[in-house]
C-alpha cells in the first residue's frame, strides 16, 4: 500500500492518457496496468470535449490532472484552477516547461508556481529534474511529493543519471518520490523501484508500443518485481568474487598420484 497525497493506493504504477491509437485501447491498457492514479492533460486532452470525458469516466481511479504545455506561472496556475473545478480534486501534476528541445522543467518558474498553488490549497506533484537543491526548495515551498525525471519526456532512455537519483533517494528518504518521464521499458521501471522510489509514472512507453495493452501488463509486473526486490534487500555489490559454497572447513580428499 502506498500513501500519497493523503490517499491510499495499491498500485505503484501511474499511467497517462495521451497518444493511444484509440480511446478503447487507452481504456484497455489502463485496466491491464491496474493503475489507480491516472494523469490527464487539461490543456491538450480537454480539447477532445464531452466524448473524451465520458470515456475516461468509465475508469475507477484517482485523477492526477497536469499542466502540460504551460510555460509561465500564470498559465500553470490558471490551468490548475480549471483542473480542480473539472475533476473535483486538489491534486495537480505541475509542469512548467523551460526548454522546448528536451522539455526540461523551468526550475525558477516551477518553484514560483508551486508557492502560489500551495497557497491556494493544491497538493502539488511537481515534475522536476533530479537536482537535489531544487527538490529541497520545492519541499520548503510546501510540496509533500516529488516527481523527478528519469530522462527527458518521451525519450524512453530510462534512468539517465542513476547516481543523482540515488542521491535524492538517500538524502530525502521519507519523501514520496515518483519517477516521471523517460521510462521506456519495464526493466527501467524495475530499476527505479529497486532503488527505493515509491512509484513510476509513464505514458509514451505504453501508448506507443505495438501492443499497448500487453505492454501495460508488462509494466505492472516490472513495478511489482522492483518493489519486492527493494523490500527483500539486495545483496551487496562486491569488487571480488566470493564463492557461494565456502571452502574453509570443507574436507578435501587428497588425490592419489597414481590416479593422475
Hey, which residues are catalytic here? 93
Asked if 118 and 143 count as a contact pair (C-beta separation under 8 A), the reply is: yes
How many angstroms separate the Cα of 97 from the Cα of each of 91, 93, 119?
19, 13, 21
Is 218 marked as a binding-site residue? no
Q: Confirm or deny that 204 is annotated as ligand binding.
A: yes
* β-bridge partners, 177: 146
- A 10 A CB-CB count for 10 gives 8
Contact 42, 66 (CB under 8 A): yes
- Return the residue matching grid coordinates 473545478: 85
Local structure of residue 97 (DSSP, 8 states): B
Residue 6 marked in a binding site? no
Using a 10 angstrom Cβ sphere, with 0-12 exposed, 13-18 middle and 19 or more buried, the burial of residue 246 is exposed
For residue 18, say whether it is annotated as part of any ligand binding site. no
CB contact at 8 A, 67 and 94: yes
- C-beta of residue 103 within 8 angstroms of C-beta of residue 70: no
Within 10 Å of residue 108's Cβ, how many Cβ atoms?
12
224 backbone dihedrals φ, ψ, rounded to 5°:
-65, -45
Rg for the chain (alpha carbons), in Å? 22
Helix (H) or strand (E) holding 242: none
Q: Which helix (H) or strand (E) covers residue 124, if one does?
A: strand 123-128
User: 149 — phi, psi (to 5°)?
Assistant: -75, 155
- Residue 46 known to bind ligand: no
Q: Binding site, residues? A: 154, 181-182, 203-204
Q: Binding site for 1-deoxy-D-xylulose 5-phosphate, residues? A: 154, 181-182, 203-204
Amino acid at each position: 500500500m502506498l500513501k500519497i497525497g493523503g490517499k491510499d493506493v495499491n498500485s505503484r504504477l501511474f499511467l497517462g492518457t495521451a497518444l493511444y491509437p484509440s480511446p478503447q485501447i487507452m481504456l484497455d491498457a489502463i485496466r491491464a496496468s491496474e493503475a489507480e492514479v491516472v494523469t490527464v492533460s487539461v490543456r491538450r486532452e480537454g480539447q477532445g470535449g464531452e466524448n473524451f470525458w465520458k470515456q475516461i469516466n468509465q475508469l475507477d481511479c484517482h485523477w492526477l490532472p497536469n499542466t502540460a504545455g504551460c510555460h509561465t506561472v500564470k498559465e500553470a496556475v490558471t490551468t490548475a484552477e480549471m483542473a480542480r473545478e473539472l475533476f473535483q480534486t486538489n491534486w495537480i501534476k505541475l509542469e512548467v516547461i523551460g526548454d522546448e528541445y528536451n522539455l526540461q522543467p523551468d526550475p525558477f518558474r516551477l518553484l514560483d508556481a508551486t508557492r502560489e498553488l500551495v497557497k491556494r490549497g493544491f497538493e502539488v506533484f511537481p515534475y522536476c529534474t533530479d537536482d537535489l537543491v531544487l527538490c529541497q526548495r520545492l519541499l520548503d515551498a510546501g510540496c509533500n511529493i516529488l516527481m523527478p525525471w528519469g530522462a527527458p519526456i518521451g525519450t524512453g532512455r530510462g534512468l539517465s543519471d542513476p547516481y543523482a537519483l540515488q542521491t535524492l533517494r538517500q538524502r530525502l528518504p521519507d519523501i514520496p518520490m515518483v519517477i516521471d518521464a523517460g521510462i521506456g521499458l519495464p526493466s527501467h521501471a524495475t530499476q527505479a523501484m529497486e532503488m527505493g522510489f515509491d512509484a513510476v509514472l509513464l505514458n509514451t512507453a505504453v501508448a506507443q508500443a505495438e501492443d499497448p495493452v500487453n505492454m501495460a501488463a508488462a509494466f505492472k509486473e516490472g513495478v511489482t518485481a522492483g518493489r519486492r526486490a527493494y523490500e527483500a534487500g539486495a545483496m551487496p555489490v562486491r569488487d571480488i568474487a566470493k564463492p557461494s559454497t565456502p571452502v574453509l572447513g570443507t574436507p578435501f580428499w587428497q588425490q592419489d598420484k597414481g590416479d593422475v
